[in-house]
Structure 1
Amino acid sequence: MNPSDPKHLLAFAGGAGLAPKAPGTVGTLVGVVLYLVLSMLPVAVYVLVVAGLFAAGLWAVGTVADELGADDPSAIVWDEVVGFLVAMIAAPAGIMWVIAGFALFRAFDIYKPWPTEAISSRFQGGAGIMVDDLVAGAYTWLILHVMWMMVEASLRGAGAH
């Protein structure tokens, strides 16, 4: 990693991807920190920022993967950062929701449930690296919001008694 090269800093999430064990998990932790900062923004601005980070990631991870001569090097973790940020769009406030989002995102990223592979196999380069984490983020977003609705319904039901 060349720390003076912006595409390296981005693709490796500031060096998180160079962790000797579980670089994807370490990269997702960078996403958690970034989420805690960005979560203070209005949802529309948050989504625009995440879209910009995704676009920057397309360039950075694709270029760095080409430099390394690999399709999806484990040291490239910007895809985990952005995937986690997608997972947390309009997430409920509270550390328990962040922990749930983290756990769900890692599970979906690691196990890649259907149709993750079918979708990501349609893309090459940076998009190929980024898309499976976008899908993991979308799955996590859906489950988090269903859980949130269930908690809210339970609380409303408990208040009616």
Structure 2
Amino acid sequence: MAPLPAPLVWKSPEVLIATGLGSGRISPASGTWGTLAAWVLAVTLPKTAIIFLLILACAAGFWAINEFQKKSGTHDNGMIVIDEWAGIWVAMLFCMPHRLDQLALAFLLFRIFDVLKPWPVSHFDKNVEGAEGVMLDDIVAGVMAGICVYGYGLWMH
């Protein structure tokens, strides 16, 4: 597990939320681990539960990221993965009802868009500051992955 930047404390609410209940402290590839944790958490849930979790992750995530960044003096620290949680949940909303092939594709495409940051993901990553920028680039990556998965679903049926 990666150490927390001073003066953050592991058990504080902003750290627990920002790090996706600690999944962002797993290295290497903390973003992938964080995405996997959120994916596993939501894979069997109904659409309404994922929507609820997404709203909760966004609301709590903006607050937690702001606090994490303010206290640590860092921007978009690799341990912050609540944005990945929100992004993968957005992508998963496009694959209802739950089909394992679509859910796996949502995971793969979300990670590709999150890592490579094609436009418009790159626009939000580079031009929107603070917690909003951290969250929005992943939400846009989730929308892009979701649209691709939705198209795949239409093509397969």
TM-score (norm: length of structure 2): 0.87
Corresponding residue for residue 150 of structure 2: 145
Alignment partner, residue 81 of structure 1: 85
Query: What RMSD in Å do the two structures reach over aligned CA positions?
Result: 1.6
Which residue of 2 is the match for residue 129 of structure 1? 134
On the 8 A contact 2:124/2:137 being kept in 1, the answer is yes
Distance 1:132 1:88, change over 3 A: same
State how far apart, in whole Å, the 2-side matches of 1:67 and 1:137 are: 28
AA partner of residue 29 (structure 1): L
2:84·2:138 contact (CA, 8 Å) conserved in 1?
yes
How far is 1:142 from its partner?
Answer: 0.3
Matching of residue 111 in structure 1 with residue 116 in structure 2: yes
Distance 1:67 1:103 in 2: 33
Query: Which segments of 5 or more consecutive residues in structure 1 lack a partner in the other structure?
Result: 153-161
Contact 1:63 / 1:126 at 8 angstroms: preserved in 2? no
* Paired AA for residue 71 in structure 1: H
User: What aligned pairs does 1:48-67 form with structure 2 within 5 A after superposition?
Assistant: 48-67=52-71
Which structure has the greater CA radius of gyration?
A: 1
Report the CA distance between 1:128 and its aligned residue.
1.2
Q: What is the number of equivalent residue pairs in this alignment?
A: 149
Percent identity of paired positions between Structure 1 and Structure 2 = 31
* CA apart distance, 1:40: 2.2
Maintained 8 Å contact 1:62/1:129:
no
Q: Which has the higher helix share?
A: 1
Moved runs in structure 1, 4+ residues, more than 2 A?
Answer: 1-4, 39-42, 45-49, 119-123
State which of 36, 44, 52 in structure 2 corresponds to 1:29.
Answer: 36
Per-residue deviation, 1:41: 4.5
Once residues 116 and 105 of structure 1 are traced to their aligned partners in structure 2, the CA distance between those partners, rounded to angstroms, is: 11
AA aligned opposite 2:104: I
User: What are the ranges of 5 or more consecutive residues in structure 2 without an aligned counterpart?
Assistant: none
